[in-house]
Structure 1
Amino acid sequence: MTHQSSSREDEKTGGIQVIARAAKILNALGEHPSGMSLGEIAQVVDLPRSTVQRIVAALDSAELVRSSGAGGLRLGPALLKLLSSVNTDVVDLVKPLLEKLSADTNETVSLARASGSQLAVVHYVVASRELRVVPRIGLDLPLYSTSGGRALLALESDADVQARVGDDWRELTDKTVKTLAALLQMIHEVRKTSISYDRGETLEGVSTMAFALDTIFGRFAVSLLVPTARFKKHEARYREEMLQCKQALIREIGKIAAVEG
């Protein structure tokens, strides 16, 4: 091997290493939406602070991260714009099936994804009846208390669940789960059944059920939001409609994966 080809190989390896390190930093910031200091990032990604500082400077110049003053560093507008484009692609793809689920159940349906330790709603279809649940786009609720959040957590290992949820347990109602042990027990059940439930743990008088999708666009949760009194009466039918919707979405997204693959 010539000296020139060896240098090119070293340069290629170094470039891959930088990309891998940048990805670790961006993932860490994604899991801490309130912001992180350089020292905190260095500790989480297990890299020297000076290395983190150099990579962050490059990411900042590309607007992939931004400084929020006392709040530290956060994901930047360029990356958030890319994520928004992905959300739009997903919404366009699944919207007809979400609308069908809402029509079949006559209930509100939401599409959400994890944002750090929170569940962020990216799209919803509101039921066309008088007594209904209306979520807000961008509404952030804890992953641990919501059916959609727990469905997404069920896709992760127990260790990753603990790392993502942390130690901040907000009691949103008197039914909100309060310990990691209780949460993991719920998540183990979700892994067996594919359906997660929130029976008034997040909002009084509102019950939900959800399933998660692990797709080429990322991980998303589809939730059915129902006034609790009606939820109890029709739970079995709702569950069947949800499972049918999940299979239809898997088939539809599979078509895209086959085309792009």
Structure 2
Amino acid sequence: MLVKQAANVIEILEYFVQRKRPATLSEISDDLGWPRSSTFNLVGTLADKGYLYEPRSRGGYYPSPRWLTTAQSLADAEPLPEALLSLVREIVKETGETTSVCAPSGTHAVMIHVFESIQSIRYYAHVGSRVPIYASSAGRALLAQYAPHERLSIYKKIKFEHYTETTPVSIETLEEELRRAHERGYHQSHSEYIPDLAGVALPLPLPYRKLSIVVAGPVSRCLEKRAAIAEIMIKGLQRFSKELDIKPVEA
């Protein structure tokens, strides 16, 4: 379900991220294809709350620093452990591929920390990127941390879409992949959601939180190296397991 008013707030913020300069009401309305009245109401509300301001008189609106201070306060309230950030940096250095920490968000896995590869051809991701929980190694590493009845509740909300030829599109196929991952010792993917992308993921069952860590990169470079990447990740997680207060690695 999409709540239009909430979506519009996010859209206007992303609009300014791309624009990088103030915009008048008319420009916002025209660029986003919104009615003038709706644009006036939304911009007026955000300005009244202190989230938009006018850097110059009649020069248009721009997001205020309040967005940053609000986001920083939220992040400070539940930060990722420093040991986990160190682990991510270590894995990126050893694998050379983009590494992310993911958390469950309904029927998706959302990236809450991303460290991109410096290679010219790489998996581009950013904080807030989402992937289907069933069609990604990162998502299945999250699903594996739920009890069977909890997974069933999630499955009932999923609309299994056939993104590529390798996308698992049934509960039975998904459960079988979780079983194989448990035997294998890690979760893996091959172009299930994004074509030409291979991934390897491990669960991160931190106290009171379900997270996963995933390494992803182009198929041409990563597909045949998934087992080797998994070994790097597992050894790294074992080194940090005491600091992270997690059990021995299990897929």
Instruction: Return 125-134 or 164-173, whichever deviates more.
Output: 164-173
Give the superposition deviation at 1:163. 0.9
Distance 1:194 1:117 in 2: 24
Structure 2: where are the runs of 5+ without partners?
4-70, 247-251
| Correspondence for 1:178 | 169
> Which amino acid letter does the alignment assign opposite residue 222 of structure 1?
I
Identity of aligned residues (%): 19
Give the superposition deviation at 1:217. 4.8
TM-score w.r.t. structure 1 length? 0.62
Distance 2:74 2:106 in 1: 14
| Correspondence for 1:207 | 198
Question: Structure 1 residue 241 and structure 2 residue 229: aligned?
Answer: no
| Correspondence for 2:134 | 144
> Which amino acid letter does the alignment assign opposite residue 165 of structure 2?
D
1:219-258 paired onto structure 2 within 5 Å: 219-254=210-245
Q: Is the 8 A contact 1:112 1:148 kept in 2?
A: yes
> Which amino acid letter does the alignment assign opposite residue 124 of structure 1?
V
Distance 2:229 2:223 in 1: 10
Distance 2:76 2:183 in 1: 33
> Which amino acid letter does the alignment assign opposite residue 243 of structure 1?
I
| Correspondence for 2:160 | 169
| Correspondence for 2:46 | none
Instruction: Return 184-193 or 126-135, whichever deviates more.
Output: 184-193
| Correspondence for 2:112 | 122
Q: Aligned with 1:215: secondary structure?
A: coil
Superposed CA RMSD:
2.5
1:84-99 paired onto structure 2 within 5 Å: 84-85=75-76, 87=78, 89-90=79-80, 92-99=82-89
Distance 1:178 1:229 in 2: 25
| Correspondence for 2:13 | none
Q: Is the 8 A contact 2:199 2:226 kept in 1?
A: no
Q: Is the 8 A contact 2:188 2:226 kept in 1?
A: no
Q: Would you tell me which structure has more helix in proportion to its own residues?
A: 1
Q: Aligned with 2:178: secondary structure?
A: helix
| Correspondence for 2:185 | 194
Structure 1: where are the runs of 5+ without partners?
1-32, 36-79, 256-261
Q: Is the 8 A contact 2:102 2:138 kept in 1?
A: yes
> Which amino acid letter does the alignment assign opposite residue 232 of structure 2?
E
Give the superposition deviation at 1:216. 1.8
Deviations 1:173-211 (A, max 9, x none): 222111000000011222333310111101000010100
> Which amino acid letter does the alignment assign opposite residue 142 of structure 2?
L
Give the superposition deviation at 1:164. 0.8
| Correspondence for 2:54 | none
- Quickly say closer, same or farther: Cα 1:217–1:161, change in 2 above 3 A: closer
Q: Is the 8 A contact 2:102 2:110 kept in 1?
A: yes
> Which amino acid letter does the alignment assign opposite residue 177 of structure 1?
P
> Which amino acid letter does the alignment assign opposite residue 189 of structure 1?
R
- Quickly say closer, same or farther: Cα 1:233–1:192, change in 2 above 3 A: closer
| Correspondence for 1:24 | none
Instruction: Return 234-243 or 101-110, whichever deviates more.
Output: 234-243
Give the total of aligned pairs: 179
Q: Is the 8 A contact 2:141 2:187 kept in 1?
A: yes
Q: Aligned with 1:173: secondary structure?
A: coil
Instruction: Return 240-249 or 179-188, whichever deviates more.
Output: 240-249
Q: Is the 8 A contact 2:81 2:244 kept in 1?
A: no
- Quickly say closer, same or farther: Cα 1:141–1:235, change in 2 above 3 A: closer
